[in-house]
Amino acid sequence: MALLEVRNVGKSFGTLRALDGIDIAVQAGTFHGLIGPNGSGKSTLLKAIAGAHFPNSGSITFDGRDITTATPYERARAGLSLKFQITAVLPELSAYDNVLLALQSDQSLWSLLSSRTRRRLNGEVMTALERFRLADRADDLAGELSHGQQQWLEIAMALAPRPKLLLLDEPTGGMSPEERRVTGELLQPIRSHCALVIVEHDLDFIKDICDHLTVLDQGKVLDDGTVAEIERSTRVQEVYTSRV
């Protein structure tokens, strides 16, 4: 069974059909990209998976559990984590404290008082920062980090509770080409323990890191397959050459 299964999902805003009968399956350990022209429904689909809004029809199953109308908190407890387009680090706190906060949200007050828990959390915070090349910036305020580093900090925070699936909405927006390249490099190792669903306009970036692509067009799945299959798809080429 797939880790995430979206079945026949529909979402309307008034008379606008933003999603219309969407089916996708994301396997554990894979990086799954959502691409398509502007307004094709990518962010709406990501938000439906994240619980930022509920679909009008269809179902979403995660790790064997129906989460179609689960709250974002319940989804997080089930192992779903997300980083949306707008940077949400706390600029007045250090990079270290931002990750610590993300980790602490799951701990009881009682366990936080124990020095063993605090030692363990300290180790986990530093591992998360090292993984995203931020260990030497641990004490710096998050607001003083570069744009790219703030994005990496936020991904580190989203991964801190060890989710099974990470949702990323345009993580490379506003990054330099070098920061994009490094972002791809930093994401690769998470594959061993976490799947990824990513919306991204940079097609070269998404083709480099993803195993599987779903192409949306006007709220429907236009095509779905491996990166090589999508590159050969004449339907996709037509949409991209005529409208992008």
Q: Which residues bind ligand ATP (CB under 6 A)?
A: 13, 16, 18, 36, 38-44
- Return left, alpha or beta for 27; rule: phi > 0 is left, psi -120 to 50 is alpha, else beta: beta
Nearer residue to ligand ATP within complex by CB, 39 or 161:
39
- Kind of pairing between the strands at 165-169 and 195-199: parallel
Nearer residue to ligand ATP within complex by CB, 36 or 58:
36
Q: How far is the CB of 68 from ligand ATP (least distance, A)?
A: 18
Give the dihedral of Cα atoms 66, 24, 161, 190; nearest 10 deg: 150
Q: How far is the CB of 127 from ligand ATP (least distance, A)?
A: 33
Nearer residue to ligand ATP within complex by CB, 156 or 213:
213
Q: Phi and psi of 164, rounded to 5°?
A: -90, -20
Q: How far is the CB of 38 from ligand ATP (least distance, A)?
A: 4
> Which 3 state secondary structure label does DSSP give 145?
coil
Residues 195 and 29 sit within 8 Å (Cβ to Cβ): yes
- The Cα–Cα gap between 194 and 6 comes to 18
Q: How far is the CB of 39 from ligand ATP (least distance, A)?
A: 4
